A and B are shown apart, each in its own frame.
Chain A
């Protein structure tokens, strides 16, 4: 036990004496949350659009009014013919054109169905996607009001993102992603770097030629980072609640436990990386390329998994971050409990056990 405490004390000296790692540990979460919360945003404001209204009846007028009243859109132009659509896009004046079909009101009442074509400028696919989502949500809003008024049941296909994020706040979407990235970064990258640093400096040689057992070295290395990652997770949640007024719907305890599970799986990955890299630089490259990129690209954090090609969707299942993000969204946004998340939790648990087993097996009690 004394050995263990001695080891951990030493680890904390390393961490607190290295400004670079201190910054990654504590500066990064704050910077990232603020960056994603304020600067990088999927929200849109005053986007210029054009309207092509073939009906010009009461319903279309009301919808157009609603759209122009929202702060998201401003109607730049009214056009008369289909042929003009290409023209306005080419001039780059508008980002979207709403095309109301003929006899819009009539169809709505008669067939319970009417069509609006939302044509967006997909040179910027994210914005295009967001615009069409926003228009959709305004339309749904209108439908709901209509339904109440005339008491006819419309079939509405709800867009999940809108439902659970009715104010269309993108920061809510980013918090689970950012939290995942930061826990991954702190846990996996920092551990792998700190273990390979011992190899690079040659101190690992001395540790090996000493009575301290390999698992004591590993736990000693990992323990400070479990502790720091938990602090980070708390900082992120607190920041999202108080700065971005994000409600956490579900149980904080469950959130905490799931986070610890994810942290442990990331630490195991970190140890695994350290067993296959000889230098800090390699460890860093592997962590960034092998962990960070998949987390950002394939976990569903930025790009929805459902819109990926099938092979990528399959690969995404192998990424722990994907499951953790689902769990986080479930707890934070939907407020669901373990009864809805046990499957994801089990998958994550399985992965964690697998990584720990593999890294213990790969860990060498000798050089090379």
Chain B
């Protein structure tokens, strides 16, 4: 009752939005689609929610075919589009009531499922949706997407434009929903959110780079990464890039993530080289790869 996607391709005029995408989301899994803007995430969501027709391949959602059984799918999925898509001139309560009637149900009937989320915004239920903060809008949108007890929940970049506190709360809510038996497919451009999913697919330019659990993806990173820092960031990056043995050099916050081509790399050599480049306060330390490192290595 999860999602299967096999060989889905979709083009707009001469732009290939998706190229032979295949993956599977197991029932009751929290699956993340991680990739930058323009990777094809929204197109894939729209195909799975029966809003678009793929040029090639087929897919099923909750056991229904996206083409033949599109009416069934529309009854059984919850969808939260990337853009805030509720009626700004209706109040919180009116929005929720509207979506409940559209799905032929009532708020009371499914209150149990949305209770956790809805109680946080219920005190403001007479406020119009357009006047809510980003975090509250997001909670309302999620409540509306859940009001008919969907089997599968599609969340397209739910945390874009939302502050860290609301983001954290949102992911906690998703974990709780998963425990209630809902299959969740969520997309995000933020690599740090990947770790919160059971499994992820890294996607770029319409192609999947890798599918696995976040832990495994990080484990499979082929190189040893070093945090390098020095007194001058700009010169440090230039020097590292000019170093003949470098495999990759990426600024990473206050450090630079460095990998070397050689298997017998000794950090002391690098330190010597950097000192010769007039840099001081040089620190080189081994560090753990992140999803972002893996993504860049795969996309290279």
Contacts and interface: CB of A to CB of B under 8 A. Distances in A.
Direct contact of A and B (CB under 8 A): yes
Interface of A: 2-3, 5-7, 9-10, 13-14, 17-18, 201-203, 205-212, 366-368
8 tightest CB-CB pairs across the interface, nearest first? A6-B101, A202-B85, A202-B83, A209-B79, A367-B51, A17-B89, A211-B75, A209-B49
B124 interface: no
B52 interface: yes
A18 B75 CA distance: 31
Given A2-B101, A209-B50, A366-B52, A201 B87 contact: yes
B190 interface: no
Contact of B79 (A6, A17, A205, A366): A205
Nearest to A366: B51
A366 B53 contact: yes
Given A6-B97, A209-B51, A211-B71, A203 B46 contact: no
A214 B83 CA distance: 22
A13 B52 contact: no
B90 A10 contact: yes
B96 to A, nearest CB: 12
B222 interface: no
Contact of B103 (A18, A203, A210): A210
Interface in B57-91: 71, 74-75, 77, 79, 81, 83-90
Contacts of B83: 201-202
A7 B103 CA distance: 11
B79 to A, nearest CB: 5
Contact of A3 (B46, B51, B85, B101): B101
Interface in B98-135: 98-99, 101-104
**Residue from A9, A14, A366 having most chain B Cβ neighbours under 10 A:** A366
B193 interface: no
Given A206-B79, A209-B77, A211-B71, A201 B51 contact: no
13 contacts: A2-B101, A3-B104, A6-B97, A9-B98, A10-B94, A13-B90, A14-B87, A14-B89, A18-B89, A201-B87, A202-B84, A202-B85, A210-B102
Residue from the set B51, B79, B99 with the largest chain A CB neighbour count within 10 Å = B51
Contact of A13 (B49, B74, B85, B94): B94
Given A205-B51, A209-B77, A211-B103, 4 more contacts: A2-B101, A3-B101, A7-B102, A10-B87
Given A17-B89, A203-B85, A206-B79, A10 B51 contact: no
A212 B86 contact: no
Contacts of B74: 208-211
Nearest to B75: A211
A205 B85 contact: yes
Contact of A6 (B53, B75, B102): B102
A18 B90 CA distance: 11
Interface centre among A6, A207, A210, A367 (most CB of B within 10 A): A210
Contacts of A368: 52
Nearest to B88: A201
Contact of B98 (A6, A202, A211): A6
Contact of A203 (B50, B77, B86, B94): B86
A368 B86 CA distance: 20
A2 B81 CA distance: 26
Contacts of B87: 10, 13-14, 201, 203
Contacts of A210: 74, 99, 102-103
B160 to A, nearest CB: 13
Given A13-B94, A205-B79, A211-B74, A367 B84 contact: no
Nearest to A14: B89
A17 B81 CA distance: 25
Nearest to B100: A6
B52 A367 contact: yes
Contacts of B51: 205, 208-209, 366-367
Contacts of B88: 201
A201 B86 CA distance: 7
A10 B77 CA distance: 23
B10 to A, nearest CB: 11
